[in-house]
Structure 1
Amino acid sequence: MRKPSHPVANRPSPPDDTPPPPLRGILRQVRGRLITAVVLQAAAAVAGVTPFVAVARIAVHLTGDSRPQADDLWPLVTVACVSGLTALVLGSAAGFVSHIADNDLQLALRRRLAAHTGGLPLGWISAGGASQIKRAVQDDVRALHTLVAHTLLDVTALLVAPAAALVYLFAVDWRLALLSILPLALGAYLFGRAMSGAAAQMAEYGAALGRISSTAVEYVTGIAVLKTFGRGRKGHDRFLTATDGFADFFTTWVRTTLVTSTGALLVVSPVLVLLLLATAGTVLVANGWMTGADLVPFMLLGPAVAAPMSVVGTRVQQIRAGQAAAARISALLGRPALPQADKPLTPKGSRVSMRGVSFSYDGHIDVLSGVDLDLKPGTITALVGPSGSGKSTLASLLLRFQDVTAGAVTIGGVDVRHMSSACLYQNVGFVLQDVRLLHASVADNIRLGRPTATDEEVERAARAAQIHDRIAALPDGYATEVGTGVTFSGGEAQRVSIARALLADAPVLVLDEATAHADPHSEALIQTALSTLAAGRTVLVIAHRLSTIRQADQIVVLDGGRVAERGGHEELLVAGGRYASLWKAQSTGRNAQSTGRDETGEQAPVPSPAGLGRSDDAREGTPR
């Protein structure tokens, strides 16, 4: 009777879920074509060696005892010519296939990156992720081009051609064949010695270059301030210290590797290899151990055996660069995107509600904790508080630049996480401190708010945003391209952004200190435009200057990520709490505009979205 098999022994092996290395995973989609290109290049390398073999055989016939016959020579000449032409054709075909594969890979990668990054949290992108995206889309994809289109074929040729040459040389004379390997082995040993510790040295090399770059930027950007205070020499000295430090490091590195690296290149140089083989071959021929004709293939092919060592450093660097680029691309593609609802919902109304909202950037320390807030339609709510209290973070959750850690943010009774991105930004508009304008026409920049808007609607929005006159004065008017035909000041760019928001006509609006970087004249124009924009909408204002939000329907004071106070301006002043302290601190250094006195000493109006937003006149001209 057979014993039952051990249950563990018969248990099927679990599937291997280990992800492939980043480079292998990225190249998977073009793997078949790359294999084809490598095979073609290998065949081209073998074909490239064949003419030298044919020439060596011709030398045997020419140096023989009997007179060579044409029937013996012409077939070898034909083989040399055909194989040489074949090598050119196969090499060209390999390059064509690899470049086509690279082109398709670049297109697919850039499409994947564009599609994936479009779903990443905007908060992460604005906090520094944009530089990672730029590097992946441009620099890293370009590094893969070098690897896929060139390096793989170069490495194949460098490996196959010497191997094919060695096979033939061993067939001719094994003693000289072994001797021809000696330079290759010695060069590999010396190169390994020179590259020992290269990882740490390359890290220090990059750090030294970084110090030069940072001190150069610091010196150039701060030269006006340094010279104003007579400290120009100090900034210059910092730059010189960085460059001298780099020079000292690099000199030391070169000095420690100079002998071994130079030796590695010398021992594989064609001249030394030829001298070595010619000397040894002469000894063998003189003693009758081989014929002079047998020495010919070693003179022709011997240098090719050691040739790879002369370029191995460059190829290794290209492979490492490709691996690093693939790792960065894979890391970016692996970054989790904001989840999208399977069945998106549409809000009913513009009431904003936040319940138990908490948020943490690192999953440990809460930037916001237990925030409850209601924004009623047609009202203005101002967020105030000290720097780092969580004002911008709370507003970004309404815009879904990132998702809450706990709690919920709803618009019209629908959680923003259950809305499609298109629906969310149809319902929520925003004007932030840092304005980003595209390299497109002014009209197209404004039309981002509503791509189907007519020229008349675009102009009406620009007029309401107090920017029409500036645009009309441009040589091409609204067709002028931003960045080439015109460069807007900070205040002007802000008004273009307001025109964009006006055209979008979203019922909920987020304003994040839109006048923070504007001069007094631009600030007045921006405040007027914001008043028009805010009219009749559910508005959330992030304010640093409290004088601009005195007439807000609700002022919410954040402190340490929690709601410390809420109420109207006068109510909070009477309470004598955190808001009153902030108001008193700002009142001490308030300038003439903040105190509301014009040059005649009379009370002057202070433009603000809160104050003017209550006026019926402000509603006129709003392109809704």
Structure 2
Amino acid sequence: MSTTTDADPEQSAGLAKPGALARLFAPIRPYLIVCGTLSALSAAAGIVPYIAAAEIARIMLDDPAGSAAAVWTWVGVGAAGAALWLVLLVQSSRVGHYADAAILHSLRTRIVRHLGALPLGWFRSVGSGRVKRAMTGDLEEMHEVIAHALGQLTGAVTVMAVAAGYLFFVDVPMALVVLAVLGLMGISYRVSMRSMTAHVNRLITAEGRISAASVEYADGIQVVKAFGTGGQVMRRFDDAVDEYAEAFAAWVSEVRYSSAMTRLLGSEMAVLTAVTAAGSVFIAHGSLTVAGLVAFLVVAVGLPASVLPAVSAAQGVRKGRMGAANIERLLSRPPLPEPDRPQVPARHDVELDHVSFTYDGKTRAVEDVSAVCPMGRVTAIVGPSGAGKTTLASLLPRFYDVTSGSIRIGGVDVRSIPSAELLRSMSLVFQDVALLRDSVAENIRIGRPGADDAAVRRAAEAAHVHDVIERLPDGYDTLLDAGGGRLSGGERQRLTIARAILSGAPIVVLDEATAALDPDSEAAVQDALATLATGKTVIVIAHRLHTIAGADQILVLDRGRLVERGAHDELLARDGLYARMWAAQEGVLA
């Protein structure tokens, strides 16, 4: 039987895997080859008009009365090159963008499906920033590689090769001067990029923290506005922004001179100055003609305009490689293990057998808990904050897998039950309400996709929310946002209960479902929960003890351990932790 661990390979993996980009691009390699070939041919055709202009100048300077036919031949060659450049450029762009759309669609589909197979506890541990980065920033970096950088790099290499061949044909010493200037630019560029990977990874990490802090800030905007900007949320956001600024400043400070030198040596002015100076010397010594110098002024001076985009493209490829490595690490994250020999329980009693769990491998959040939650009965789990109540509830649907021990449903270990079947057997109602940006009806129908309108209405009536829905502008067709729109907290909670009622699952897990509600809303939600729990195996995690006083059994946790169990009256008579908690909540001196 397989289990998962909580070690995150994304944390322990190296900064970037050089082959990640190639592996992810494997399905579109034929298209990339075609795109690169077309880009090379387009670049070669694009430099032909410049060579034609240089040759026309050489003919006219060497022999002003020379053959007009040769001049017009080069005019035709230049025009044909320009036309061919445009056609090939368009076709290269079409193939590149088609490949880009195909692979990004495939990767987005793979990522979404893989995220759906990961343990839900993983999302709690990494936050939304990393997922957002993979779905947006990392894929955007890969888009730049396919749609732009590939063509720019291929084109630049081709232009350099064709131009260098022509310049060496005209004059070897002058060609070496031009290549020396561009070579110095290349060295300067390599110096400026020597630590790019480390800096970019630092920026990506800081950007992820900004993203997570932004989501936290937006979700808690009411609290932030109520208590000003000095709270912990704002400090985390400010710290994340400061960290990003410091990382960026450190990179700029390190490369400012080498980057400036790269720009200077790669400018048309640098090449023009070198060509003019060297050409003047060679002409004075009789080793170069004026016509030859003009050829270099026409062709060589324009080379930086082709090379500099390649510098940006090379940076894009580096970022694309790191983005691909991030995506590959995400896709390599082990999914929730499915059983080799799946079993489906015939009963739905829940048994905790010496269950222990740790998040970090050191401190145990739950330790050696054993209990039985019978079918058709209500089991309440209570305890002080941090006692392990929510952690224990998260182990039942396998948001995490136990570190040791086992959880069984109907005698079958939950790790032996297919995950889809396990989740179908449970109705989960949490304090934090999750709604979709969809209609009210569809938000309820999540509990049983395909349920008809009548079933949805019956579930809403059972959850005591039907009358509320009917008062909405479009009734069951009213569109909600993630925050629930016009619904109050208690009404949103009842909507999720209607969803759970519609599912008809035999196990009901309620995690602080009424903790944040006012007394009137709590009463309505309690009525809805009573309907939901009828005939089910019910596990209730509660902070307000009066809401679970009628439970068949109460499990009392403290620091991850089960310290008491029994019915309400029994626990009060023992005068232990439960009795002290009850006295504190009821305002009675112990």
Give the structure-1-normalised TM-score. 0.82
CA shift, 1:566, in A, is 0.8
Of residues 255-264 and 364-373 in structure 1, the stretch that sits farther from structure 2 once superposed is 255-264
Which of these residues, 88, 107, 110, is aligned with residue 109 of structure 1? 107
CA shift, 1:515, in A, is 1.0
Per the alignment, residue 166 of structure 2 pairs with 168
SS of residue in 1 equivalent to 2:354: strand
CA shift, 1:587, in A, is 2.5
Amino acid at match of 1:406: S
Classify 1:529/1:114 alpha carbon distance in 2 versus 1 (closer, same or farther; 3 Å). Answer: same
SS of residue in 1 equivalent to 2:174: helix
Q: Distance in 1 between matches of 2:275 and 2:517?
A: 78
Contact 2:130 2:208 in 1 (8 A): no
Per the alignment, residue 549 of structure 1 pairs with 548
Q: Distance in 1 between matches of 2:476 and 2:344?
A: 34
Contact 1:33 1:97 in 2 (8 A): yes
Per the alignment, residue 418 of structure 1 pairs with 416
Contact 1:23 1:326 in 2 (8 A): yes
Q: Distance in 2 between matches of 1:517 and 1:275?
A: 74
SS of residue in 1 equivalent to 2:370: strand
CA shift, 1:504, in A, is 0.7
Contact 1:166 1:305 in 2 (8 A): no
Equivalent runs, 1:143-542 vs 2, <5 Å:
143-192=141-190, 194=192, 224-226=225-227, 260-307=258-305, 310-311=308-309, 314-483=312-481, 486-542=485-541
Amino acid at match of 1:529: A
Of residues 448-457 and 564-573 in structure 1, the stretch that sits farther from structure 2 once superposed is 448-457
Q: Distance in 1 between matches of 2:95 and 2:491?
A: 51
Q: Distance in 1 between matches of 2:64 and 2:299?
A: 26
Kindly indicate whether residue 83 of structure 2 is the aligned counterpart of residue 54 of structure 1.
no
Kindly indicate whether residue 132 of structure 2 is the aligned counterpart of residue 134 of structure 1.
yes
SS of residue in 1 equivalent to 2:185: helix
Amino acid at match of 1:543: A
Contact 1:281 1:295 in 2 (8 A): yes
CA shift, 1:310, in A, is 3.6
Per the alignment, residue 31 of structure 1 pairs with 29
Of residues 218-227 and 368-377 in structure 1, the stretch that sits farther from structure 2 once superposed is 218-227
Classify 1:342/1:269 alpha carbon distance in 2 versus 1 (closer, same or farther; 3 Å). Answer: same
Identical positions, percent: 43
Of residues 175-184 and 269-278 in structure 1, the stretch that sits farther from structure 2 once superposed is 269-278
Classify 1:122/1:146 alpha carbon distance in 2 versus 1 (closer, same or farther; 3 Å). Answer: same
Per the alignment, residue 621 of structure 1 pairs with none
Per the alignment, residue 124 of structure 1 pairs with 122
Amino acid at match of 2:354: G
Deviations 1:396-446 (CA, angstroms, capped at 9, x unpaired):
222122222223222223222222233223321111111111111110110
SS of residue in 1 equivalent to 2:432: coil
SS of residue in 1 equivalent to 2:117: coil
Contact 1:480 1:486 in 2 (8 A): no
Deviations 1:195-254 (CA, angstroms, capped at 9, x unpaired):
566667667777888999969959976664456xxx989999999999999989978976
Per the alignment, residue 558 of structure 2 pairs with 559
Classify 1:453/1:238 alpha carbon distance in 2 versus 1 (closer, same or farther; 3 Å). Answer: closer
Contact 1:431 1:510 in 2 (8 A): yes
Of residues 210-219 and 39-48 in structure 1, the stretch that sits farther from structure 2 once superposed is 210-219
Q: Distance in 1 between matches of 2:485 and 2:234?
A: 34
Q: Distance in 1 between matches of 2:445 and 2:492?
A: 14
Amino acid at match of 1:156: T
Contact 1:163 1:305 in 2 (8 A): no
SS of residue in 2 equivalent to 1:369: strand
CA shift, 1:509, in A, is 0.5
CA shift, 1:498, in A, is 0.3
CA shift, 1:588, in A, is 2.7
Q: Distance in 2 between matches of 1:234 and 1:179?
A: 60
Of residues 125-134 and 106-115 in structure 1, the stretch that sits farther from structure 2 once superposed is 125-134
Of residues 561-570 and 289-298 in structure 1, the stretch that sits farther from structure 2 once superposed is 289-298
Kindly indicate whether residue 586 of structure 2 is the aligned counterpart of residue 587 of structure 1.
yes
SS of residue in 2 equivalent to 1:440: coil
Q: Distance in 1 between matches of 2:351 and 2:238?
A: 57
Deviations 1:254-310 (CA, angstroms, capped at 9, x unpaired):
677655543432332213322331333234334432222222221111123344564
Classify 1:233/1:127 alpha carbon distance in 2 versus 1 (closer, same or farther; 3 Å). Answer: closer
Give the structure-2-normalised TM-score. 0.87
Contact 1:61 1:73 in 2 (8 A): yes
Q: Distance in 1 between matches of 2:407 and 2:246?
A: 57
Q: Distance in 2 between matches of 1:357 and 1:209?
A: 38
Contact 1:513 1:544 in 2 (8 A): yes
Higher relative CO (CA 8 A, sep ≥ 6), structure 1 or 2? 2
Classify 1:450/1:84 alpha carbon distance in 2 versus 1 (closer, same or farther; 3 Å). Answer: same
CA RMSD of aligned residues (A): 3.4
CA shift, 1:311, in A, is 4.1
Deviations 1:458-498 (CA, angstroms, capped at 9, x unpaired):
11211221211221111111011111993433222111100
SS of residue in 2 equivalent to 1:358: strand
CA shift, 1:382, in A, is 0.3
Q: Distance in 2 between matches of 1:170 and 1:44?
A: 22
CA shift, 1:557, in A, is 1.1
Larger Rg: 1
Q: Which segments of 5 or more consecutive residues in structure 1 lack a partner in the other structure?
A: 1-18, 591-624
Of residues 141-150 and 315-324 in structure 1, the stretch that sits farther from structure 2 once superposed is 315-324
Classify 1:202/1:382 alpha carbon distance in 2 versus 1 (closer, same or farther; 3 Å). Answer: same
Per the alignment, residue 613 of structure 1 pairs with none
Q: Which segments of 5 or more consecutive residues in structure 2 lack a partner in the other structure?
A: 1-16
Of residues 389-398 and 128-137 in structure 1, the stretch that sits farther from structure 2 once superposed is 128-137
SS of residue in 2 equivalent to 1:381: strand
Contact 1:465 1:526 in 2 (8 A): yes
Q: Distance in 1 between matches of 2:362 and 2:242?
A: 43
Classify 1:403/1:91 alpha carbon distance in 2 versus 1 (closer, same or farther; 3 Å). Answer: same
Of residues 170-179 and 180-189 in structure 1, the stretch that sits farther from structure 2 once superposed is 180-189
SS of residue in 1 equivalent to 2:25: helix
Of residues 153-162 and 335-344 in structure 1, the stretch that sits farther from structure 2 once superposed is 335-344
CA shift, 1:184, in A, is 1.6
Q: Distance in 2 between matches of 1:372 and 1:235?
A: 38
Contact 1:180 1:305 in 2 (8 A): no
Contact 2:355 2:370 in 1 (8 A): yes
Per the alignment, residue 597 of structure 1 pairs with none
CA shift, 1:454, in A, is 1.8
SS of residue in 1 equivalent to 2:502: helix
Contact 1:183 1:267 in 2 (8 A): yes
CA shift, 1:59, in A, is 2.3
SS of residue in 1 equivalent to 2:451: coil
